[in-house]
A and B are shown apart, each in its own frame.
Chain A
Amino acid sequence: MFGLQRVCGRAAQLARVWAGPAGSVLTPKYFSSHPRRLAYAKELFLGTIRKEEVFPYPEITKEELDEINQLVAPVEKFFNEEVDSKLIDQNAKIPPETLDGLKNLGLFGMQIPEEYGGLGLSNTMYARLGEITSLDGAIAVTLAAHQAIGLKGILIAGNDEQKAKYLPKLASGEHIAAFCLTEPGSGSDAASIQTRATLTPDGKHFLLNGSKIWISNGGLADIFTVFARTEVVDKDGATKDKISAFIVERAFGGVTHGKPEDKLGIRGSNTCELHFENTKVPVENVIGEVGGGFKVAMNILNSGRFSMGSASAGMIKKLIEMTGDYACTRKQFNKRLSDFQLIQEKFALMAEKAFVMESMAYLTAGMMDRPGLPDCSVEAAMVKVFSSEGAWLCVSEALQILGGLGYMKDYPYERFLRDSRILLIFEGTNEILRMYIALTGMQHAGRILTGKIKEMKKGNVGVALEMFTKKLRDSLGRKVNLGLTGNEGVVHPSLEESAKKLEENVYYFGNTVESLLYRFGKTIVEEQLALKRVADVLINLYAMTAVISRASRSISIGLRNHDHEVLLANMFCSEAYFKNNYTLAQLGKHSPENQDDSIRKIAAHVLEKRGYTCSHPLDRTF
């Protein structure tokens, strides 16, 4: 018995010795066949860190930096001097002269290539400008609806004729674009889209019929990206309804819009219903191919999200300045507000959140700007979730610093609060995006781990023994080393602690994912509470990576105030580390222990009765 154990131990040691060098040599080779297909976040599900993806922190060249700075200065000036956000909010309309100003600055064609008259900005530069345009929520949303989703279809899936025909006018702002997907009966369910496009007998046009709701820029736009059902003949000859994307001009006729919706926030942006009645769309205006609209829609939605990180960060940076002034001048009990620790805490929180958001946003933008076709949709979704929630929290805290003043309409804080609420809802609600984040990773991990898990379930002694030794080593306090620090390390020593925490979290996250796959298999889709936790851990891991990478770079090249960055990064990593450990511990438990059972039972009861059924505390039975 002892002999057997010793032999096994020897074998495991040998295996480790062999796995070390071979792994590090082989893995890059394996992936080199698809160099940019693989994103960082998906690999985290396997408990590994692809450090070359995120270290060093992406940079832009000196020339690009100068260029973007030249662009930023006038835009900043314009927003500070000529945009009256209060008025826009009050009148629920962006004045035409402001829109003209935005057009003159070229802000309607930021990502359109220069050959079509746009600015041709990279994702990174687009994110940088987003920081400033976000100072007014209504303008930010108008611009985003125009170019992040409205004309994105033409940009990423359109053919050259379509691009040449539409992009120049869209870039100059002469035409405004809108993205028409949502219908009264269809939010994220493509199957319930009712708008229909039928081919005319001559085969040259589609007749478009149906209504869309909540279309941003619906009342202003001249060019619409519309999704509608079309009949498509299958491979096996059966006709089937499939979604197609169309470029529709208002000039085609039959397009009407309702009156602008009255909204809680981003009131200046135009949102309304759109009706298409026998709108004649030429067949050459189909984006991609007929029946390929679903992919187009998904790509547009996936690519539009990353900029929300920098936008939120820009807004919070502005808020810190504004509330900072107040906190340092207002006096109570002969002390300034800024001397109270509870106020200080709020500023630390805002700075931390802004720092993390910024780091995540520019890391993601940098990854997207790499050559090839990087698939950063998971990262972009994480940026969106983290920054929208962070923004909501920070705005609320900023308002709290001002106390009653913040609640008054005379001050801009309540407007920021109202405007930022939409961030959690549009471009995919945070709940849906968490599902996307977790399930995409689970699918990736599942493909790779299926074989191993099947062996384990079959009772393969070798695999089981490997598992056992791994568990044993983990329980004996294993030092996780994924290569971020040490000789081959990429992290600055002042962030070593944080990097270690990240590595440990990543390693145990990998283990947790494996056990989740073992436990639930493909039915994990139904375990939304578990998936939410998986997504939360992943978001934290990505955020940790981003801040470590950024702070390492800052300290290494000697950026101004890099010590402050290190402090922020270390603080965030410690916090996230504890949160992750808690979440991972919950994920390791079964539903009766981690409260999931109770949550589901309570919700089931409440929803069955459709109300709160507890007796009133003042009720009596006798």
Chain B
Amino acid sequence: MRTLRFLISARHLCARGRGIPAGQALGTGNNAQKQVTCCLHTSPPPGPPQATSSAGSVTPYEDVFQREQRNKASFVEVLDLYCNRDVRRRGHVEIIEAALRWMTEFGVEKDLEVYNKLLDVFPKEVFVPQNYIQRMFNHYPRQQECAIRVLEQMENYGITPNKQTCFLLLQIFGARSHPIRKYQRMMYWFPRFKHTNPFPVPAELPADPVELSRMCLHRIANDLDSRVAVYQMPYTEKCDDGKEREHLHVVGIQSPSQVSLLAAHNPSTPVYVEGPFPLWLRKTCVYYYILRADPDPMRKEEEIDNERSLYYPLSLDLELDRDLGDDDSFDVDDVEEGPVFAMCMAGSGDELLLGKWIRGLQETNPILGQTPVVFRLNSGPQELSVPQEKEAEPKGELEDDEGEREPERRRMEQ
């Protein structure tokens, strides 16, 4: 409300100054405000943020970042060089914007210290409004917007500012400036959003494929009782003919309740190996396979044996059912799904490799020896996989022959 009043009074002031009727100035809305800003400041009006980064124009300070060695130390070195060169810090907006663009190249886009260093480039106390008129209007808008861009980039990378950031912004722009507002908003939301994901993904994924699979399987299964078993460790074997044969990893997970479910499975009906299904971990995609069966239509509810509990009745012999008012169950269309008996992650969607998993499972689930296992594998995961080569799924080697396979293959294993 107060700001609105200020604005109106400012328009009056400005209209009087330029001889334009106040009503007209009001009617033009935003443009009028821009004009106000223009006539109050000597500096040129701020262009759109992309103006400096447009590909066509030659942007200053790009060359100082063209270095061989790109790491945090060299990045900071550039900034220090600039700061020490000139006490007036001429062109600081340009160097900050250039630095923002180069941050990913130097791998410092997630480093709060570097962002603070970047804000430190601004000259201190010059942009702090000195009187109410300056405070009312966008004082040094280019600088303020530049600082906001720094904060925005922090926001995009999920970097929470700290006290140091706040001190710098206060020193540079003063309290109630736009960057401080931005800082306050960030500090309002970021802590609240920090733990919204109940299943946080670690920032650094393990490099070892077995460890990664272990983590992913626990993540999917989410059952504290389930046990991970490594059916095959990845290793390379030298064959007689000099060729190297690579053995890929097979890691599976199964919980005790799944073991008992599988033990109760009717061996005359097949179980299916299905997959690959994608699992995204931040920017990495991994694939898993499941062993499942169709829902058993013959399965009947377990009858309550009255001669079971020694101390109290397990059921009442009454003909009364639950009243509607206390029936809290959701009325949804239940889609009967078959049980999932186990899951695994393997180095490739190769039937031979998955066969090793099934053979490994047989040790704890002897019933698998008598049950037909049908492989229903989709064509490999390569379409979906992201070009993240460092990830643990070395599927690349098998891409070719997997592509030739039919989308759905069946094989009976007796």
Contacts and interface: CB of A to CB of B under 8 A. Distances in A.
Main secondary structure of the interface of A (DSSP, over half): helix
B309 A190 contact: yes
A523 B162 contact: no
Contacts of A622: 160, 162, 187, 190-191, 194
Main secondary structure of the interface of B (DSSP, over half): loop
A191 B308 contact: yes
Interface size bracket, B side? 20 to 34
Given A297-B310, A521-B322, A622-B190, A442 B316 contact: yes
Interface stretch (A1-9, A81-89, A427-435, A564-572): A427-435
A294 B307 contact: yes
Contacts of A591: 326, 328
B312 A436 contact: yes
B194 A301 contact: no
Contact of A522 (B187, B305, B310, B318): B318
Given A519-B325, A621-B195, A298 B320 contact: no
Interface in A4-59: none
Contacts of B316: 439, 442-443, 446, 522, 524-525
Interface stretch (A211-219, A306-314, A447-455): A447-455
Given A520-B326, A622-B190, A428 B311 contact: yes
A524 B191 CA distance: 45
Nearest to B316: A522
A521 B195 contact: no
Contacts of B310: 181, 188-190, 294, 297-298, 301
Contacts of B328: 591
A513 B213 CA distance: 54
Contacts of A520: 322-323, 326
A435 B313 CA distance: 8
Contact of A621 (B191, B312, B315): B191
Contacts of A447: 317-318
Nearest to B315: A525
Contacts of B323: 457, 518-521
A519 B325 CA distance: 7
B333 interface: no
Interface in A400-436: 428, 432-433, 435-436
A242 B307 contact: yes
A318 interface: no
A188 B326 CA distance: 30
A440 interface: yes
Contacts of B312: 432-433, 435-436, 439-440
Contact of B321 (A428, A439, A523): A523
B154 to A, nearest CB: 13
A125 interface: no
Contacts of A446: 316, 318, 320
Contacts of B325: 519, 590
Given A191-B305, A621-B195, A622-B187, A450 B320 contact: yes
A354 interface: no
B335 interface: no
Given A301-B310, A622-B187, 16 more contacts: A189-B309, A191-B308, A298-B310, A435-B311, A443-B316, A446-B316, A446-B320, A450-B318, A520-B326, A522-B317, A525-B313, A525-B316, A591-B326, A591-B328, A621-B160, A622-B162
The 4 A-B pairs at the shortest CB distance, nearest first, are namely A521-B320, A621-B191, A436-B312, A435-B312
24 contacts: A188-B310, A191-B305, A243-B307, A301-B310, A301-B311, A435-B311, A440-B312, A443-B318, A446-B316, A446-B318, A453-B320, A457-B323, A517-B320, A520-B326, A522-B316, A522-B318, A522-B320, A523-B322, A524-B316, A525-B316, A591-B328, A610-B224, A621-B190, A622-B160
